[in-house]
């Protein structure tokens, strides 16, 4: 519970960076102690005050025994989080990542506050005032940690007397109403979002599940992390945990829980630094990679793989983040009731007057890339706060003030690119285009620090190099729009890549630059869920193909391998029928007529169009039960996925598949007088040096890469080889899906949307796909 002081309150406009540095913050700390004390301790602290100093001041203010040991925990009830802070952590920095209302004076019931607890001399935490339970329940809780399941529900779906859709749903609903949000399906964990605080994520539960066999205690996400950690140590084999679910189901929050547990299990070394950096990296990646969609106000529009590296002793060595398939097209166009990436709104509404002048910022409604499709902003105050939160998170990751300015300058340039307009020349025999407005071109030239003449040329003309000559041809109007948007998407994609790289440097263990030691690793894959929107395009095609691969792994792991093991051991069993989706994967990726290969062929053919691509799809796959043709005049096709039928609009499939940074745009950006712009496209030697360091620090990836290559070689026709197109990003041999086939030992599935609904409401997770047929 906190409010910030210094610099004034509402109505004064955004604070400058210097004001933020000078502020002190009023933290409201609630004691959870055996001794009787005040209900709350109000403590004013500076931004650089450590946990140790805050505990000392709070203990003095409460008149506590100075001979005892205490710990400070940050509680965020909305996510069920209770993290004990390290002595060197900065509580005020944590507080600055809270929502705006939680930074104002508010009751404890809002769910964001600090707890002061007593630490035992053996280092464990002395818990008191836990939720009251009956004596019988208390005895059971002491024995197992959670209430044992009554006879009318089962902690593992595999133990259901009758295994069918109705019994599974009934069991999940019964457990959910008893606040049991986790259920096993063998080694798979099903999580249902409770939309309320459950105090089951504090360090007590990390310790409770440590080194326990899966199924010995109540299902919990910490059990998954624990089993992966100790399997890695015992078998000396890298592990992978996959989180899958619909958009808005809480996959990112589950990732946070897993990372917290995986670093806490190490208990020493580099773990606290890794967790602290990932904590700061979350809001940064969220700002640049998340956006409001029709179904989710904070939808991740990229996939990520977080790998925690360990020494063979189990001590955290460092971590690395990889990103996949950033939805670049969102930058230039969106569907109705959707927004661009969060960071643009944060910047435009949260920047100080000084920053507005420096980056030449306009109101959001004056940018073409933002005002499309029912433009409206109703949460301005929250967006202003989110900009402050973003700045704080960037600082935690290690972004210097000068670096933040460079990033914001590039963001401003991207928005101005959308305001570039074209019109055909009305006089003379020149078939070229007039480009403007002049003030937009001048601003772009200034922000990117490139010559305006070269900028205009890159936006209006195409250079073609032949054996004997170099041709300069004017763009048509549609080609010019495409070139403009391509430049904006290329800049944003390069910026996002650079930010991920910078986060990886913050996660880097500096010892890796001095010595080479064997490492093990645990990866957590947080990837898009299955998508079916009103309008589905190339992005949904890629996302759903990735989900088909995950479903194939699920089927193979749960059904095929288990039944093969039964057969090998001579066990009598009833054959289990299941829906095999390998036919859908073959439709998409099997040589030589898979949709992906046909798409690559047409993308490389100069005179091909989206229409000729669709015709080729229909010609090759007429009669395939997974490919459903549409009426002749409809520019679309339908795929029968494992989750139902999805209609894809063929428009822009070829363009998006060949999306790359055009040579003339590369040349323009390389001519920039701003070193940071050159660095974004890999021109600057410093950038190349940084990539070299990064490659040297993720040696743990080698085992995954080898596993991926081995698996791909065994299953040709199911996994597509390396591609130079955007699809290749997901399918290269070291992609997480490939790693998972060899290394993953469990999966974690999340269900339910994040839309508002009454607490305790249970939505059936089994959607009826009849309506899609």
Coil, strand or helix: which one is 180?
A: coil
Distance CA 362, CA 359 (A): 9
Does some domain include residue 417?
yes
- Whichever domain contains 413, its CATH number is 1.20.120.720
Element (H, E) at 667: helix 663-670
As a residue count, the chain comes to 773
Look at residue 131 in the predicted model and tell me its pLDDT.
47
- Same domain (yes/no): 57, 196: no
Binding site as annotated, residues for ATP = 245-252
Distance CA 610, CA 248 (A): 32
Total domains present in the chain: 3
- Same domain (yes/no): 284, 168: no
Look at residue 221 in the predicted model and tell me its pLDDT.
94
DSSP 156: B
- Same domain (yes/no): 359, 445: yes
DSSP notation for 448-499: HT--HHHHHHHHHEEEEE-SS-EEEEEPPHHHHHHHHHHHHHHHHHHHHHHH
- Same domain (yes/no): 333, 440: yes
Look at residue 172 in the predicted model and tell me its pLDDT.
92
Look at residue 22 in the predicted model and tell me its pLDDT.
61
- Same domain (yes/no): 51, 177: no
Element (H, E) at 43: strand 41-46
- Same domain (yes/no): 184, 216: yes
What angle (nearest 5°) sits at the alpha carbon of residue 666, between those of residues 661 and 667? 155
Distance CA 517, CA 743 (A): 21
Distance CA 765, CA 767 (A): 6
Look at residue 750 in the predicted model and tell me its pLDDT.
54
Look at residue 149 in the predicted model and tell me its pLDDT.
45
**Cα dihedral sign for 264, 265, 268, 271?**
negative
Domain boundary residue, one of 126, 151, 179: 126
Distance CA 137, CA 392 (A): 44
Distance CA 305, CA 298 (A): 19
Question: Range of 222's domain?
Answer: 140-270+309-318+522-531+746-772
- Same domain (yes/no): 155, 95: no
Residues paired with residue 471 on neighbouring β-strands, in sequence order: 464
Go through 618-646 and write b for each residue having 16 or more CB atoms within 10 A of its CB, e for each that does not: eebbeebebbebeeeeeeebbbbbbbbeb
- Same domain (yes/no): 406, 506: yes
Look at residue 125 in the predicted model and tell me its pLDDT.
66
Phi, psi of 470 (to 5 degrees): -125, 120
Distance CA 648, CA 719 (A): 21
What angle (nearest 5°) sits at the alpha carbon of residue 553, between those of residues 174 and 168? 15
Go through 110-143 and write b for each residue having 16 or more CB atoms within 10 A of its CB, e for each that does not: ebbbbbbbbeeeeeebbeeeeeeeeeeeeeeeee
> Which of the residues are catalytic?
247-248, 252, 296, 299-300, 529, 531
Helix-helix angle 595-603:610-621, to 10 degrees: 150
Strands 636-641 vs 644-649: parallel, antiparallel or unpaired: antiparallel
Element (H, E) at 317: strand 316-324
Distance CA 698, CA 516 (A): 11
Look at residue 453 in the predicted model and tell me its pLDDT.
93
- Same domain (yes/no): 154, 213: yes
Coil, strand or helix: which one is 577?
A: coil
Binding site as annotated, residues = 245-252
Distance CA 557, CA 459 (A): 51
DSSP H helices, 97-145, are 135-144
Domain boundary residue, one of 454, 489, 515: 515
Go through 560-596 and write b for each residue having 16 or more CB atoms within 10 A of its CB, e for each that does not: eeeeeeeeeeeeeeeeeeeeebbebbbbbbbeebbbb
User: With a threshold of 0.75, does the pTM exceed it?
Assistant: yes
Does some domain include residue 621?
no
Distance CA 131, CA 135 (A): 12
- Same domain (yes/no): 180, 245: yes
Does some domain include residue 632?
no
Contact yes or no for 332/486 (Cβ under 8 A): no
Does some domain include residue 541?
no
Residues 6+ apart with CB under 8 A from 502: 397, 398, 399, 403
Does some domain include residue 599?
no
Rg (CA), the chain: 28
- Same domain (yes/no): 82, 36: yes
Does some domain include residue 395?
yes
- Same domain (yes/no): 346, 210: no
Phi, psi of 769 (to 5 degrees): -90, 5
Does some domain include residue 404?
yes
Domain boundary residue, one of 482, 515, 548: 515
Look at residue 514 in the predicted model and tell me its pLDDT.
59
Element (H, E) at 2: strand 2-5
Query: In which residue ranges of the chain is pLDDT below 50?
Result: 1-13, 15, 129-133, 135, 138, 141-150, 683-726, 730, 732-734, 745-747, 752-761, 763-773
- Whichever domain contains 257, its CATH number is 3.40.850.10
Phi, psi of 719 (to 5 degrees): -115, 130
Does some domain include residue 22?
yes
**Cα dihedral sign for 310, 316, 318, 324?**
positive
- Whichever domain contains 99, its CATH number is 3.10.20.90
């Amino acid at each position: 519970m906190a409010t910030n002081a210094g610099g004034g309150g509402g109505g004064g406009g955004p604070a400058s960076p210097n004001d933020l540095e000078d502020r002190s913050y009023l933290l409201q700390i609630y004691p959870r102690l055996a001794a009787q004390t005040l209900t709350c301790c109000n403590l004013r602290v500076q931004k650089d005050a450590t946990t140790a100093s805050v505990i000392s001041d709070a203990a003095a203010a409460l008149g506590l025994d100075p001979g005892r040991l205490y710990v400070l925990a940050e509680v965020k009830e909305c996510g069920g989080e209770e993290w004990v802070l390290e002595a060197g952590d900065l509580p005020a920095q944590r507080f600055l990542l809270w929502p705006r209302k939680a930074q104002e004076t508010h009751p404890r019931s809002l769910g964001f506050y600090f707890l002061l607890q007593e630490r035992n001399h053996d280092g464990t935490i002395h818990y008191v005032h836990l939720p009251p339970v009956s004596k019988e329940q208390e005895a059971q809780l002491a024995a197992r940690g959670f209430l044992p399941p009554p006879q009318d529900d089962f902690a593992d779906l595999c133990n259901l007397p009758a295994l069918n859709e109705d019994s599974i749903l009934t069991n999940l609903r019964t457990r959910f109403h008893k606040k049991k949000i986790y259920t096993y399906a063998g080694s798979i964990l099903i999580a249902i979002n409770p939309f309320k605080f459950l105090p089951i994520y504090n360090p007590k539960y990390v310790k409770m599940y440590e080194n326990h066999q899966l199924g010995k205690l109540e299902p919990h996400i910490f059990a998954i992390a624990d089993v992966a950690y100790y399997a890695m140590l015992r078998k000396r084999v890298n592990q992978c945990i996959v989180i899958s679910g619909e958009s808005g189901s809480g996959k990112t929050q589950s990732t946070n829980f897993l990372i917290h547990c995986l670093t806490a299990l190490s208990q020493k070394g580099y773990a606290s630094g890794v967790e602290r950096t990932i904590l700061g990296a979350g809001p940064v990646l969220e700002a640049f990679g998340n956006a409001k969609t029709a179904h989710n106000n904070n939808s991740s529009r990229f996939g990520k793989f977080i790998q925690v590296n360990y020494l063979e002793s189990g001590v955290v060595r460092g971590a690395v983040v990889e990103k996949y398939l950033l939805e670049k097209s969102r930058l230039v166009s969106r569907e109705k009731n959707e927004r661009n990436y969060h960071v643009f709104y944060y910047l435009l509404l949260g920047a100080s007057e000084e920053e507005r002048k420096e980056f030449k910022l306009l109101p959001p409604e004056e940018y073409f890339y933002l005002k499309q499709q029912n433009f409206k902003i109703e949460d301005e105050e929250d967006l202003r706060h989110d900009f402050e939160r973003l700045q704080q998170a960037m600082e935690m990751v290690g972004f210097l003030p000068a670096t933040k300015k460079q990033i914001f300058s590039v963001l401003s340039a991207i928005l101005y690119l959308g305001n570039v307009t074209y019109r055909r020349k009305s006089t003379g025999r020149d078939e070229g285009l007039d480009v403007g407005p002049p003030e937009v071109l001048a601003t772009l030239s200034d922000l990117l620090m490139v010559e305006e003449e070269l900028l205009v040329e890159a936006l209006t003309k195409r250079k073609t190099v032949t054996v004997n000559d170099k041709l300069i041809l004017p763009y048509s109007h549609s080609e010019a729009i495409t070139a403009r948007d391509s430049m904006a998407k290329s800049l944003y994609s390069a910026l996002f890549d650079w930010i991920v790289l910078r986060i990886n440097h913050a996660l880097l263990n500096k010892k890796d630059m001095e010595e080479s030691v064997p490492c093990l690793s645990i990866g957590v894959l947080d990837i898009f869920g299955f998508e079916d929107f009103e309008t589905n395009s190339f992005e949904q095609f890629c996302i759903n193909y990735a989900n088909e691969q995950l479903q194939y792994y699920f089927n193979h792991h749960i059904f095929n391998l288990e039944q093969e093991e039964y057969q090998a051991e001579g066990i009598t069993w009833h054959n289990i029928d299941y829906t095999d989706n390998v036919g859908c994967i073959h439709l998409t990726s099997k040589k030589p007529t898979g949709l992906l290969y046909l798409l690559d062929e047409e993308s490389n053919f100069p005179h091909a169009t989206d229409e000729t691509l669709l015709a080729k799809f229909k010609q090759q796959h007429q009669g395939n039960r997974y490919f459903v043709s549409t009426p002749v005049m409809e520019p679309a096709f339908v795929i029968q996925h494992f989750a139902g039928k999805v209609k894809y609009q063929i428009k822009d499939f070829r363009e998006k598949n060949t999306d790359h940074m055009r040579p003339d745009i590369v040349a323009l950006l390389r001519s920039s007088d701003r070193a940071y712009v050159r660095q974004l496209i890999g021109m600057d030697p410093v950038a190349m040096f940084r990539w070299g360091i990064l490659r040297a620090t993720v040696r743990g990836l080698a085992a995954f890469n080898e596993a991926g290559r081995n698996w791909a070689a065994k299953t040709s026709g199911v996994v597509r080889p390396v591609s130079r197109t955007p699809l290749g990003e997901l399918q290269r041999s070291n992609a997480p899906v490939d790693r998972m086939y060899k290394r993953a030992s469990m999966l974690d599935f999340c269900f339910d949307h994040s839309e508002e609904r009454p607490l305790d409401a249970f939505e059936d997770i089994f959607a009826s796909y009849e309506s899609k047929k």
